[in-house]
Every structure is written in structure tokens, then in C-alpha cells.
Amino acid sequence: MRRGISAVAMAAAIVLGATACGGSSDNKSTGDAAKDPAGVSGDITYWDTSDATNEAPVYQSLIKDFMAKYPKIKVKYVNVPFSDVENKFKTAAQSGKGAPDVVRADVGLIPEYASNHYIAPLDGTAALKDTGDFTQGPLNTTKYEGKTYGVPSVTDTLGLLYNKELFAKAGITKPPTTWDEFISVSKTIKDKTGVTGTYVNPDTYFLMPLLFGEGTDLADAAAKKITINSPEAVKAVTKAKEIYDTSSAKVDFASAYDNMQTSFKNGKVAMLIQGPWSVSDDISGSAFKGKESNLGYAPVPAGSTGKPQAPTGGHDLAVYQGSKNLDASYLFTEFMTSSASQVTIATKTGTLPTRTSAYTPAVTADPKIAGFKSIMDTARPRVALAQVGSLFTPLQQQYVKILQGQVSVQAGLDAAASEFATLLPGFTK
Amino acid sequence: MTTATIDRQSRGTAPRAGLMTSFKRSWDKHWYAWAMVAPVVIVIGVLVLYPLGYGAYLSFTNANEMTVAKNIGPVHIPASYDIVGFDNYWKIISGQDGDFYPRLIWTVTWTVTCVAFTYAIGMGMALLLNRPVRFRLFYRLSLILPWAIPAFVSVFAWRLMLNSQYGVFNSMITQVGLPAQDWLGTPFAQKVAVIMVNVWAGVPFMMVALLGGMQSVPQELYEAAEMDGASPWQRFLNITLPGLRPVSNTVILLGVIWTFNMFPIIFLLLGQNNSGDTDILVTYAYRKAFTGVSDYSGAASYGMVILAILLVFSTFYRRYQAKTEQA
């Protein structure tokens, strides 16, 4: 019998040994960060989603500066690919294991993270400082149900990028301001130079300027109404289909983004609806290399409302609600979004700052930042719904079918709307 | 003989031991064996049984990311989802969700086509390599290569090659005057492309397994058949194929299960801008669970349905196999 007992003990030891691994934690929060920032100590992890080769070194050097300023705080930098971060963060945040303390979140993800309580409200913490200095568009993206859940770090929007040389060759003096003009300009360019007008990106994010141009969106959060199959949306998508049919190069749906970029930067298409993130790639191509002034910037064309509008993009920094070192996380967030840090980020990476004071002459000397700064006035936030990420999948599938001509615009959008209805309980069609 | 009889008699007459007693006795006798299997049982329990049981439980609820319990820092929110019984399954089986049957039909088409092609091509290659050829080792090694490359690497390589504007296939066929193709454009073209890539990736396994099977077929049978004047085709039909039956049965079963759940090729080859027509059941379930607000219950019920389909298939296949082996 004694041998039996020892076997039980052995099995118990294995079980306990396996479970004990997950238990350790160092829970030390030293006072209020706002009152005594220098006294805050601890280890925090930061998940960055910036471009790993071009942008990450700038963020890493800023982290070194932060640790020099707060020697008691140690920051672990982790670069997570932008396409993976949503699922990785949500999984980690839910289980509490391996979650970062501070995460860089696309502005569109804030409502989803906030509604699930993954990220902490920041009002009244050390993370938010000089909020009056932030430009309104980016600041609006951090709000969810009246609270602030993020601090704007960088911003962007979609604009119309065009090849000035091709425009001059075709005798066009100014970029198109409406979608109808966009189509006629494409035709002129095709006739006079043989170059195709544009390359339609079949990703639904690039459909937003058309929807906004008709004054509509995926849904109306205030009225609890799905608007994706409204007459305005049908009009917008019909226009998108017309552009695809008349003005676009042949779209390779599996590699649309890469082919679009390659075509534009090598002068095979004349115009693109694109964001500032693409410019450094554009100027590496034969059409713009060594002649960066050939790249023109304009607001997206307007729809029948007459007002050009594009979605506010960019990234906010958010703090994980379950962080063991909230104070250190707040200080880190504040540091990384301060005016000085934003100037460094902007001058070294060419992304647009979110603070008015960060648009120093040195920053606006960058033609890309200068080009998009004026376009930023056309940016408007997307509908702030927790489910907005889920909505893109059915819309994407229908949009592809519409562009390929498998379904009519109305039928496709109706199908998307019924899928929306199952994802948005309480919303009317 | 006598001892055995005595044993049986004495066991028969002894009073029936209670469950606890017999368990205790077996424990006393075999505790060592139990201790040895304990780590495996625990690991399987943690890694397989617990997730499986939890998945089954979720499939009877309407849990999603918004309604599960949350304990994050200062926030403690109890779960707000309900048990809905067979509601999820009913939605799937009755075709109410509108996606199950189209996805199932395509999944079955995809599985049958892929397994048929990989098996046939693998068999052909194994036959070629089973004969004395020069550089046989080199051929064998190089044909295994697709299998050795991680799926996502080869899938991205294929995606580059199939690019309609800058891919190598189109530049080759336009060189000889044929029109450029949109390999990954329409849903039909996408289906052909994913099957092609999967066949390419799946052939080496079939080839290696069948080659191994062929080498275990006794050489004397071929010699005897040759003596009797059997043609090569007759030898293949009457010696190679029956000799390969145990191997074939196993690789086809494995091929079906793997292809049915082949995630990376479909998910990665086509990117995100597609109409969803090429989604098989697993990629569809993945999209349910991992885009936007996670639909845990929906994805879990799809997972259980996939498991059920494969279980039913395996059972019948094994039964059929046992029957043919007896015959």
C-alpha cells in the first residue's frame, strides 16, 4: 500500500508542477504616476505595429530615451505585424497571459477593444496630457461612449496621389475633384498617353471615400440603422463599379495591393486613392525616383454631396486594462505621444503627427507630410461600433462579387446588409 | 491444463469482489503502469480532451466575444451568454445560415479531387521510381522537396508565380503567344488554383508511402507472373494494387482527413480580397472565430460538425476496408 501512496504523490506533483508555472506575478504599483512620476518603477511590455524595417528603429530609440528619463521603468519592445495584432492582442488580453501593457492600436480597433474592456479608460491619468494640442480628428478616434481609451500617436487619411508628368502630357492642369471628373480624366489620360487612369483597390477600406462622398457609412450608430444598402450607398458602389469598369487597370484580386503599388510607382497608372504610408514605396519606383516632386497630392474626389471625405486612419496607443504596472504604462504612453516624440517620429518616418505643436517647420519640410497635412481636413471618423471589424468581411465578399459582376450592386449590398443584421443586434435594415 | 481448470474453478466459487475492491486490487498490482501513463493522460487531457469538451460546451451556447466572462484587471464581468441547446446545430443543418451547404459541397469536391489527383500522380511517380533508373536517389530526394518546404512558404511562392501581371506563368505563356490568364481571379479559377497547389504539395507524401509499399511486395510474385506470361498492366492490376492495399487504405484515409482540414493553402493563396466562394469548412469556421467580434459558439459548432463528418467517414471507411481485406 505504501507504494500506492507514493505513486499518488508523484502524480499530484506532476499536476501541481504543471499548474504552478502560471501563477507568478509581480504586482507593484507605486503610488500615483501623476504625482510622483520619478518614483514609478516596474517592467512593461510594448507591442509596436510599425513597419519592422523602416519605422521600428525610431520607436526603439525613443524607448531608450524613455528608459533614460525613467531609470526605474524597464520597457520590453515587441514588434507584432499589423495584420496579426488584433487577434494576438485579443487572445492575450482575454486570458491575461502574455498580454502587453501598452499596445499600438489602429484607430478602427479602439471601439472593439474598449467595448470588451481590454483597454483602460485614460481620462484623468498621466497618459493624457495637453489634450487641447491634439488635432480633433485623431482625438475623436480615441473616444468610446464618452470616455477616452487611447492617445493619438500618428494619423493618416486617404488622398488622391497622382503622377504630375502624365497629367501634363495629357494636358490636364488640375487633379479631379469629383468622381465623374476622375472618370473623364482617366479617359483623357488613356487617350493622350496610353497610360491607364487608376488601379482600383478592391479592399473595402478604399471604398469608404465613395460612401462618405454620398454622405453615408456602413451603419448609423445613433439611429441604430444599417445603411450599407441605402440608396446613397448603392449610388456610391455603383460609381465604384463604374470606375472599376472604365478607368482601372485589370485588378488581380489576390495581389491587388502589391500590383497597384508596382503599377503606380513605375508610371503604368496615373492616379491612386492611397494613404501616406505608401509614399516611401512610391518614390522608390522609376516614375518618382529622384524626382519626388512628380508626385502630386490632392484630396479624394467628392461625391454628390460635393464634399471630399475620407476615413481617419492612423494609430493610437492604448493601455491594457489588466496591466500590472498601470502607472508606468501611463507614463510610457504619455512620453511616446508627447510633442517631442512626435516630432522625432515624423521627421524620421514621414508619418503625420497628431499634435498641432508637432507640425514644426522641420516636420512640414517633408513633402509627404506637407502634401497630406492639407488633406487631413477631409478626414472623418468611421462609425464607432465594436463590431466594425466583423462588418468588413461580408461587405468585402459582396464587394468583390459586385466588382467581378457576379451580382448586381443592389443584390450584393442587400446580402451584406442581412449579414450586418445578424452581427448588429438591435439594428434595423 | 490441470492448473488452469483449478484456477477457473476457484475464481468461479470465490465471492464477487466489489467495484472498489477490484479497483484497489488492480491498483495494487498495476500502480506502476498507471504512474507511467499518467503524464501522457494528463497531457492529452490538457491539450486535447479539455479543449474538445469546452468546444462541445460552447457549441450549445450563444457565446461570443462580447458575452463571455471577463476578468481583466479591475474589471470583473460575469458571462452573459445562455445555453441554447441545439440551436446552433439546427441553424447549420437546416441550411438557415445559408453558408453551410455551399461550403460543404465545395469542401467535399475539393477533398475528393485533391485526394484522387495526389493518389494517382503519387502512384505514377512511385512506379517510375521503383525501377532501376540512373540518379534514382536524386529524383527521390528532389521529389520530396515540396513536402519538406513549410506550407506557407510554398503557398506564397505560388502566389507570386500566379500573379496575373508580374507572375512567371503569365510571362511564360505570353512569350509563346498565348493570352495572359487571371489565375486567381474568378471563383472558378481560384478553385482550380488551390487544387493545383494542394496536389503539388500532397504528391510527395503519397509517392513516398506508395513507394515504400511497393518495395514490400514480394519480388517472387512478379517473377511467377512473368513466367505465366502476364503483361505489365496485368502485373500492376493483380499484384501491385492488391499488394498496396493496406498502404493505400491508410494514405487515402490520411489524405482525406488532411485535405478536408487543409487550412494554409486556401487561406493564404487567395488573400483577403475574395468572394468567400473558395472557403472550405475550416477556413469558414476560422473566419467566424477570428474576424472582428469573435463568434465562439458559431465557430465551435462548425468545429463539432467537421469532427462529426470526419468521424462518420473514418468509421465507414474502416468498416469497408475491413470487409475488403477479408474478401
Beta strands in chain B (DSSP E): 70-72, 75-77
Residues, chain B, total? 327
% of residues, chain A, pLDDT over 90 = 75
**Cβ distance B202 to B255 under 8 Å?**
yes
pLDDT band for position A35 (cuts 50, 70, 90): low
Interface check B73 vs A, CB under 8 A: yes
Going along chain A from its start, the domains and CATH numbers come out as 33-156+314-380 (3.40.190.10), 159-311+387-423 (3.40.190.10)
* Distance in angstroms (rounded) separating the CA atoms of residues A152 and A317: 6
Helix/strand/coil for A139: helix
pLDDT value at position A346?
A: 93
pLDDT tens digits, residue range A142-162? 999 999 999 999 999 999 999
Cell of A367: 513633402
Q: What is the ipTM of this complex?
A: 0.80
Residue whose C-alpha is closest to residue A330's, from A25, A46, A24, A87: A46
pLDDT in tens, chain B (327 residues): 444 444 444 444 455 667 888 888 888 888 888 889 999 999 999 999 999 999 999 999 999 888 888 888 888 889 989 999 999 999 999 988 888 999 999 999 999 999 999 999 999 999 988 888 888 888 888 888 888 888 889 999 999 999 988 899 999 999 998 888 888 888 899 999 999 999 999 999 999 999 999 999 999 999 999 999 999 899 999 999 999 998 999 999 999 999 999 999 999 998 888 888 899 999 999 988 888 888 999 999 999 999 999 999 999 998 988 887 765
Using CB atoms, which residue from A7, A87, A96 is nearest to B35? A7
Count of C-beta atoms within a 10 Å radius of residue A384: 19
Q: How confident is the model at residue A24 (pLDDT cuts 50, 70, 90)?
A: very low
Q: List chain B residues with CB under 8 Å of A253.
A: 184-185, 270-271, 273-274
What integer pLDDT is reported at residue A15 of this predicted model?
A: 40
**Closest C-alpha to A397, from A411, A387, A386:** A411
Crossing angle of helices A409-423 and A231-246, in 10° steps, is 130
As a whole number, mean pLDDT of residues A287-303 equals: 93
Of A110 and A16, the structure prediction assigns the larger pLDDT to A110
Answer for the pair A425, A222: CB distance below 8 angstroms, yes or no.
no
CB atoms within 10 A of CB B221: 15
DSSP letter at B229?
T
CA separation for the pair A377, A322 (Å, rounded): 36
Domain residue ranges of chain B, discontinuous segments joined by +: 99-291
d(C-alpha A375, C-alpha A396), whole Å: 26
Contact A401 B275 (CB under 8 A): yes
Q: Please give the residue of chain B at the shortest CA–CA distance from A390.
A: B292
What angle do helix axes B100-129 and B187-215 make, rounded to 10 degrees? Answer: 40
Q: How far, in Å, CA of B308 to CA of A237, rounded?
A: 41
For A49-90, write each residue's pLDDT tens digit.
Answer: 998 888 899 999 999 999 999 999 999 999 999 888 999 999
Closest CA to A139 of A150, A129, A130: A150
Pairing state between β A147-148 and A143-144: antiparallel
Q: Write down the mean pLDDT value for chain A.
A: 89
Q: Are A189 and A170 in contact (CB under 8 A)?
A: yes
Nearest chain A residue (CA) to B75: A117
Angle made by CA atoms A309, A315, A354, in degrees to the nearest 5: 70
Cell of B298: 458559431
Min CA distance, B274 vs chain A (Å)?
6
Q: How far apart are CA A388 and CA A262, in angstroms?
A: 30
Interface of B with A in 119-148 (CB under 8 A): none
Please check the confidence at residue A327 and state whether its pLDDT lies above 50.
Answer: yes
The terminus-to-terminus CA distance of chain A in angstroms comes to 71
pLDDT above 50 for A19: no
Q: Could B72 and A322 be called an inter-chain contact, meaning their C-beta atoms sit closer than 8 Å?
A: yes
pLDDT band at A194 (very low <50, low <70, confident <90, very high): very high
B72 touching A, CB under 8 A? Answer: yes
Q: For the CA atoms of B233, B235, B237, B240, what is the dihedral angle to 10 degrees? A: -130
Chain A residues close to B27, C-beta within 8 Å: 4
SS3 A325: coil
List CB contacts (< 8 A) between A255 and chain B: 159-160, 163-164, 184, 271
CATH 1.10.3720.10 corresponds to the domain B99-291: yes
What pLDDT is attached to residue B29?
86
Region A195-220: mean pLDDT is: 95
Task: Locate A235 and state its grid cell.
Answer: 449610388
Burial of A266 (C-beta count, 10 Å sphere; 0-12/13-18/19+): middle
pLDDT of residue B15: 54
